[in-house]
Structure formats: structure tokens, C-alpha cells
Amino acid sequence: MKKEILLTLLCALPLWAGVNGFVETYNRYWVNADSGRWTWNENNFQALFEGAPSEKLHYYAELRFRTFGFPGISSLSDLQRKEKDRVFPYSLELKEAYADIYGFLLDDLDLRIGKQIIAWGTADKINPTSNLSPYDLEDFFDFGAKLGVNSLKATYTKDPWSFDLCFVPVFTPSTMPPPEYADVLFGGTGLSGDYQIRNFSDTIMMPENKITEASEAGSRVSTNIYNWDLSLSYFHGYIGFPLPEKAEMIPDSSSGTVDVRTFLSYPEVDVIGADFSGSLFGLGFWGEGALFVPEDYVLTREIVTPQGPVSSVDTILRRDEPYLKFVLGSDYTFGDGTYINAQYIHGFIHENGRDSLNDYLVFRLEKKFLNDELKIAPLSFAACVTDWGEPGDNYGFVWIPEIEYKPQDNIELTLGAFVIDGKGTGMFPRMKEHDELYFKTKLSF
Amino acid sequence: MGRKIVEEGCTMKNSRRNRRIIGVTASLLFLFVVSLTGGLYAASAVEILSRVDQVMNAPKDRKVTMKMVLVDKNGNEKVRIAESYQKGDDHRLIKFLEPADQKGVGFLSLPNDVMYVYFPAFKKVRRIASHVKNSNFAGTDFTYDDLSTFKYSEDYNPELLEETDSFYVLKLVPKPGVKKDYSFLKMWVDKGSFHPTKVEFYDKSGNLWKVLKMREIEKIKDYFVAREMEMKDLKKQHSTKMIMEEIELDTGIPDKIFTKRYLRRTR
């Protein structure tokens, strides 16, 4: 019923708001699965509502209505549901909805209130200084995507200076990839030891909705000195990915297996960030670094019998040692229009803790043809070496060749592939069986 | 006799010396006249280009709603609508209003080649380096450089090629150290208004590459403004017509419009 009301509202909104948006389909095919397999089937109708009731007011809302996934039919009753949600799994999501008040109290003070994506940093897609909005890792290959977060952002500008103050009342966690990609980012549970796990359950413990527990805050100051954009930032809040805090192992002596119950929570962190961007000898340069100052994070493992816990071992999962994640990048456009962009990344989005940071090189070469109607990116990849002592056994890469064709304005057809290989225990070797082809269409209105 | 011979010899010597002096003087005079004339022409070309810059950048500020019509070699058209704000000769902000997939995309050009773009989908203002200056902007035939504001006389050395009843024809060669994709430009300047009416852009091999035509030059307030500009890329056989639909001059656009804060705003 709620969905129907929202849909009615969705249809009525264009009557009073400026509306744009797009219709998009996205399909992926897993090439090296047994005989191949469709892995992604997404159809989006995304509406962007935007308006300015007065010169000092502005609003924006982005609604996504989509069918996502495959028919989940297991019985006749699934086919008989009038919602048809087992045939076409669908969802409605308010991605952003915020109000802007320009010149609030002071001429140079702007407020943005509501669900919004707060994007800090100068690097492309990977921004270690940007921690207020959680990651949306639903589609792992779209790494760097962010979710809107309910927040208040105040920006005071006195050119060339700009000061941001952000407050997030309630921490919102990052979303995770679907089950078939679940181990890609974080590997296995690592909890079983010598036992075979029979049942596994997890419970995530969120911070309490108190200002002292669940709230996050950040501030940023930016300026331009000698034609270089510079900024400093500070964030206090949570890392968006949960860590196990307690693991209960309940052995079953008859079968030699264990049932594992894990309790996960979100570690608190302070982040001091800095970034720059500018131009030198015609090349674009940018850099971004974030010093993460975590607290000790202890995992308690308990062996539990019907009589209660019989043993308990504490392991420090993450020490309170600061660690630095950073990105350095450069880009250039050649005379014939060929564009290259390279970034060196120390610490991917999900890597946290001094010992878990890896080095990545992300590179993209693209060239446009036919008056920008056709864009080809034959050389686009991310590569990583997880152990420089034995790089031959500890490497990985994903190659993403892509062709994008825009036969006319507002329509975009994209064909591409993810070709993955590697050795060792890194993120890419864990994905190497996931070579996929993808096809997207997007029509904007 | 011997003295006479000596005297005659002296006279002959003097005569030869005098002829040499006259010759040298005449040569110097000729060189002086030539160099003076050449200098006058050079000064004139510099002056003409300086007047062009003055005319092109005369309004203190301007707000323009422009329609860009992109036409490919088959005659297919694409339309973009944008708002442009310009202040002085080195501050410019352009915001796309149409088509839908480019709505909200913005471009800010500030002095010293400081340029930013804003793509609403990324929620971030991105600094762009000077390497993009010679790339086409948003599929048009205008480069970022063409759309940034600049003074021709700061980037080019002028030479007066021809003067007709109606036009000065200048050849503009990039100054040493100024990176352009063009080896030189030929510019037709209207004698009455000092507004360019046509500019030809020649590639590094000296071949004609692009032609810019400025039409419907009107006097609005006290300024000459071209209501229509057409850039034709002869290699791609593609053209972009820029039609100024609404022009507001000297309205006192505040400096704060030319900031990243306003680049992010939709309107």
C-alpha cells in the first residue's frame, strides 16, 4: 500500500516540480560460469525533481523505482501474488531529498538539509577523505558510488576560502555486494579454525540512536593558493564496514562441526585529511591523503557449550595505530583528443588498518570519435600487487574495455567487459572466476 | 705636377668618398624609411588587434542565453541551450540547461588558466588542467580555449595582411611559449566596428582547419555584439552555430557568480 501511495505521488510530482531523469537497463553475463549465466538484471526509472521557489531556496529529490534481480519463483503461490514481486522483484528508493537555503543569516552562508551525498576530495572515485556519506557497494564494479545520508551541511564561502561544517545525526552504514560477490571484499569469516562450520549466523550491532553514540561530524576548509586548490578536513564517526566483535563457537561433538554466531559492530575513527589539485606543464595533478586514527578493536572468541562459555580468547583485530590512505593522480588530453587518466591508490575503499592496505594502479585511456558520439576505452584497468616480496604470486588486475555510443542526445548505449585475473589472496584473485560482459542503455529525459 | 697629381688623386679620392657617403646615407635612409614603414604597419596591426580586444570585451559584464546548434556532415542537428555569464575579459561561467543528459553541467573559467567543471552526477566540482584547452567542449566545435575568455593580443602576434574598403585582414601567429593547436589565424575585422566577422584557423601544417563566422553584429547599448557565431570544422565536416537568444549587458553581475559555490548551483 505504501508503495502504491509513493507511486501515485511519483506520478503527481511532475505537476509541480521541474522533472528530469532517466530510464536505464543494465545486464551482465558471467562468462566463465558453467555454460555462462546472467548475473545482473536491473531496470531503473530514476526521476530527479528540482526547483527553486525563490532565489534563495532550492530543493532536489531523486527517486529510483526499479526492478532488480531475477524471478524468484519456487511455488505456484509465487505466481499468484497480485504484487507480482516474485516475478519482478522491485523496489523504490529515495536516493536524495534535500533543501538548500542560500544566504542563511549571512550572505555567504548556505545550508543544505536532508538526505544528501556529501562528496569531498579531489581524486576520481576513490576519496579517502570523504567519509560522511557511506559507500553503496551493491554493485562492486561501480566502486566509489555513495549513498545519501540524512545530514546538515553548512558552507560559508569567502572566496577563495570555503568552510564546510557537516553533521550526521545518525550513522548510516555502507551497503554490501550481493552474496555471490560477498567474499570479494572481505574474504571468508576466518573464524572456524580447525572446525567445519555447520551453521553460521551474524548479528550487526548498530550504535544507539543517541547524539553521543550514532552521530558523526566533519569539517573542511579549502582555498586556492598560487592557482592550486588545497583543502584540509577532519571527520569523526564510523568506518562504514562492520567488524566482528564477538564470535561464539558452539561445537557439536557428534558431527565434529561448529555453529558460529558472530556479533559485528562498526569501529569508531577520526580522520584527518588533505587534498590538492592543479595544473603543471599542462597536465592535471591531484592528490588526496587521509590519516585514519582508529581505536583498538578487539575480537572475543568464545567456545560455548550448553553449560555456558568454556573458554574465551581476545584478539586485537585492529590496533590503535594511525594509518595513511592516499591517492595520487594525473590526467592529460593529447592533441588528437586521446585522454588518459592514471591514479596510484594506497588503500582501497574497504581496506582499513595499517596491515591491510594494498597498492593499486588505476589507468584509463579513452578516445572519442564521430563528434563525440562514440567513445572507446580499450585500455582501462585496475591492477594490484599485494606482496611486493613475491609479486609473481601476489598480483591481480581487472581489465575493463568499454565502448559507449550516443547515436543522439539523451541516449547512451554501453558495451563492456570485466576481465579479471590474479594470484594470491587479494581482492582480484578472489574475483578471477567472475569475467563478465555487460550492456547498458540509458535514456535521459 | 706631382703635387697636382697628388691633388687630383685627393680630389678623386674625395669624390669617391663622397659618393660612398652619399650611397651609405641613401642606403641608411632607405633602410630607415623601410623599417619605419614596416614599423608603422606592425604598429597598425597591433593597434587593430588591440581595438578588437577592446570591442570584444567592452561590456563590463554580460549574461547571455545561447542556443547551440550542432550540425554533422549529414545535416543531423543537435541542440544545446546554455546560460553564460561573463565579467571583464577573464571571468566566465557557462551552465547547460538542455539537453536533459547535460542539464546542470557547468564550466567556470578564471584568470591564469584556472578552470573547473561541474557534473551533477558526481556531486563534485572538478579542477581541469590546461591540457583540455584545445579539446572540444561538450561536443561542440568550440574548444575550452575558445569558450574561456582571453585577449587575442595576449596570445598572438598580429600582422596586417590586407586592407580593403571594409575590412582589415590580420594574420595572427601564436606568441612564443603560447601553446595553441593552430599555426596561425586569419582574421577579418570590420573597419567600422572593429568587430571580427570571420576567423580562419590553420592547423600546424598550415592547412585551413576551422572557420568562425560572426553574423548579425548589432549595437546594444554602446557595444557591438554578434548575435550569431558559427564555427565550422572542415576536417570533421561538423559545425556549431551559437545563437545569442537573450543578451543582457552591464547589469552588474556580482563577483560571487564566478565561484565554485555558484558553479554547483543549478540556476
Write the pLDDT tens digit of every residue in B128-160: 988 887 788 878 888 887 776 568 998 899 999
Pairing between β-strand B167-174 and β-strand B184-190 as defined by DSSP bridges: antiparallel
| pLDDT reported for residue A301 | 86
Q: Is A59 a domain residue? A: yes
Q: Is B259 a domain residue? A: no
Instruction: Tell me the shortest Cα–Cα distance from B125 to chain A, in angstroms.
Output: 9
CB atoms within 10 A of CB A232: 14
Average model confidence (pLDDT) across chain B: 84
| pLDDT reported for residue B112 | 85
Q: Is B183 a domain residue? A: yes
Question: Element (H or E) spanning A272, and its range?
Answer: strand A268-280
How confident is the model over B44-68, as a mean pLDDT?
92
Q: State whether B123 and A117 contact (CB < 8 Å).
A: yes
| pLDDT reported for residue A442 | 97
Instruction: Tell me the shortest Cα–Cα distance from B233 to chain A, in angstroms.
Output: 10
B231 interaction partners in chain A (CB closer than 8 Å): none
Q: Is B165 a domain residue? A: yes
What's the complex ipTM? Answer: 0.85
B50 in A contact zone (CB under 8 Å): no
A8 in B contact zone (CB under 8 Å): no
| pLDDT reported for residue A315 | 80
A227 interaction partners in chain B (CB closer than 8 Å): 112-114
| pLDDT reported for residue B23 | 54
Which domain CATH number covers B234? 2.50.20.10
A165 pLDDT higher than 50: yes
Q: Could you read off the pLDDT of A250-260 as tens digits, one per residue?
A: 888 777 788 88
**Closest partner residue to B78 among A155, A280, A408, by Cβ?**
A408
A57 pLDDT higher than 60: yes
Average model confidence (pLDDT) across chain A: 90
Q: Is A15 a domain residue? A: yes
Q: Is A57 a domain residue? A: yes
How confident is the model over A117-126, as a mean pLDDT?
95
pLDDT band at A119 (very low <50, low <70, confident <90, very high): very high
Q: Could you read off the pLDDT of A273-293 as tens digits, one per residue?
A: 999 999 998 899 999 999 999
Q: Is B256 a domain residue? A: no
B266 pLDDT higher than 90: no
A22 interaction partners in chain B (CB closer than 8 Å): 100-101
Q: Is B164 a domain residue? A: yes
B48 pLDDT higher than 80: yes
A112 pLDDT higher than 90: yes
Residues 144-183 of A with CB under 8 A from B: 146, 155, 157, 159, 162
CB atoms within 10 A of CB A106: 9
Q: In this structure, what are the phi and psi dihedrals at residue B231, rounded to the nearest 5 degrees?
A: -105, 125
Residue in chain A nearest B240 by alpha carbon: A371
Q: Is A440 a domain residue? A: no
A327 pLDDT higher than 90: yes
A223 in B contact zone (CB under 8 Å): no
CB atoms within 10 A of CB A280: 12
Q: Could you read off the pLDDT of B66-112 as tens digits, one per residue?
A: 999 999 989 999 999 999 999 987 899 999 999 999 999 999 999 88
pLDDT band at A192 (very low <50, low <70, confident <90, very high): very low
pTM, two decimal places: 0.82
Distance CA B81, CA B98 (A): 5
Q: Could you read off the pLDDT of B160-211 as tens digits, one per residue?
A: 999 999 999 999 999 998 888 899 999 999 999 999 999 999 999 999 999 9
Q: Could you read off the pLDDT of A370-415 as tens digits, one per residue?
A: 888 999 999 999 999 988 888 889 999 999 999 999 998 999 999 9
How many domains in chain A?
1
Distance CA A435, CA B103 (A): 35
| pLDDT reported for residue B20 | 54
How many domains in chain B?
1
| pLDDT reported for residue B30 | 47
| pLDDT reported for residue A15 | 52
Residues 184-213 of A with CB under 8 A from B: none
| pLDDT reported for residue A90 | 92
The residue among B95, B131, B180 with the most chain A CBs within 10 A of its CB, best to mutate, is B131
Edge-first strand order for the sheet with A308-318 is: A196-205, A257-265, A243-252, A297-305, A308-318
Are residues A61 and A24 in contact, defined by beta-carbon separation less than 8 angstroms?
no
B57 pLDDT higher than 70: yes
Q: Is B217 a domain residue? A: yes
A364 pLDDT higher than 70: yes
Q: State whether B113 and A162 contact (CB < 8 Å).
A: no
* Residue A59: domain span: 1-27+44-97
Q: Could you read off the pLDDT of A72-86 as tens digits, one per residue?
A: 889 999 899 988 888
The residue among A129, A229, A279, A412 with the most chain B CBs within 10 A of its CB, best to mutate, is A279
A366 in B contact zone (CB under 8 Å): no
In degrees, to the nearest 5, what angle opens at C-alpha B97 toward C-alphas B92 and B102? 95
| pLDDT reported for residue A254 | 79
* Residue B162: domain span: 54-80+134-244
A108 interaction partners in chain B (CB closer than 8 Å): 256
A408 interaction partners in chain B (CB closer than 8 Å): 76, 78
| pLDDT reported for residue A255 | 76
Q: How many CB pairs under 8 A join A and B?
A: 96
**Closest partner residue to B123 among A119, A372, A408, by Cβ?**
A119
Q: State whether B255 and A409 contact (CB < 8 Å).
A: no
| pLDDT reported for residue B33 | 46
Residues 138-157 of B with CB under 8 A from A: 139
A439 versus A245: the higher-pLDDT residue is A439
Q: Could you read off the pLDDT of A212-237 as tens digits, one per residue?
A: 999 999 999 999 999 999 999 999 99
How far is C-alpha A68 from the chain's CA centre?
18
pLDDT band at B233 (very low <50, low <70, confident <90, very high): very high
Q: Which residue has the cell 591523503?
A: A289
Q: Is B27 a domain residue? A: no
A132 in B contact zone (CB under 8 Å): no
B124 in A contact zone (CB under 8 Å): yes
A16 pLDDT higher than 80: no
The answer to whether the peptide bond before residue A53 is cis (omega within 30 degrees of 0) is no
DSSP A426: S
Are residues A331 and B131 in contact, defined by beta-carbon separation less than 8 angstroms?
yes
Please report the DSSP string for chain B in residue order.
-HHHHHHHHHHHHHHHHHHHHHHHHHHHHHHHHHHHHHHHHHHHHHHHHHHHHHHHT-SSEEEEEEEEEEE-TT--EEEEEEEEEEETTTEEEEEEEESGGGTT-EEEEETTTEEEEEEGGGTEEEEE-GGGGGSBSTTSSSBHHHHS---HHHHEEEEEEEE-SSEEEEEEEEPTT---S-SEEEEEEETTT--EEEEEEE-TTS-EEEEEEEEEEEEETTEEEEEEEEEEETTTTEEEEEEEEEEEESS---GGGGSHHHHHS--
Q: Is B34 a domain residue? A: no
